[in-house]
């Protein structure tokens, strides 16, 4: 059945896209994880990044370790007293 639409306002509509990195049917990385990694790369701090994104510090760590497990490697390097350093970032 086809119904004609009349006078439909699109003023309140918005387009939102979410990109996920997938391997088969498994999500490797979602938008929040990407935002976390971007914030950590910028600030060098998981704690500051978690606060910025409004997520608990423990959840941020779980997201990072989950990503590492899924990609099969370590994506970070902890430095005592200096915070978190992402691989490939200039130290």
Domain annotation covers residue 6: no
Domain span at residue 41 reads 29-74
In three-state secondary structure terms, 71 is helix
- Spacing of C-alpha 43 from chain mean position: 15
For residue range 32-75, list pLDDT tens digits in order: 999 999 999 999 999 999 999 999 999 999 999 999 999 887 66
CATH code assigned at 60: 1.10.10
* Residue 23 DSSP code: E
* Number of domains, the chain: 1
**pTM of the model as a whole:** 0.65
Domain annotation covers residue 87: no
Cβ neighbours of residue 66 under 8 Å, at least 6 residues apart? Answer: none
Percentage of residues in the chain having pLDDT higher than 70: 70
């Amino acid at each position: 059945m086809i119904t004609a639409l009349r006078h439909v306002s699109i003023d309140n509509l918005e387009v939102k896209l979410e990109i996920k990195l997938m391997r088969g049917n498994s999500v490797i990385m979602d938008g929040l994880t990407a935002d976390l990694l971007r914030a950590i790369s910028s600030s060098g701090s998981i704690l500051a990044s978690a606060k910025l994104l409004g997520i608990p510090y423990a959840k941020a760590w779980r997201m990072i370790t989950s990503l590492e497990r899924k990609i099969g490697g370590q994506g970070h390097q902890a430095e005592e007293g200096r915070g978190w350093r992402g691989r490939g970032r200039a130290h």
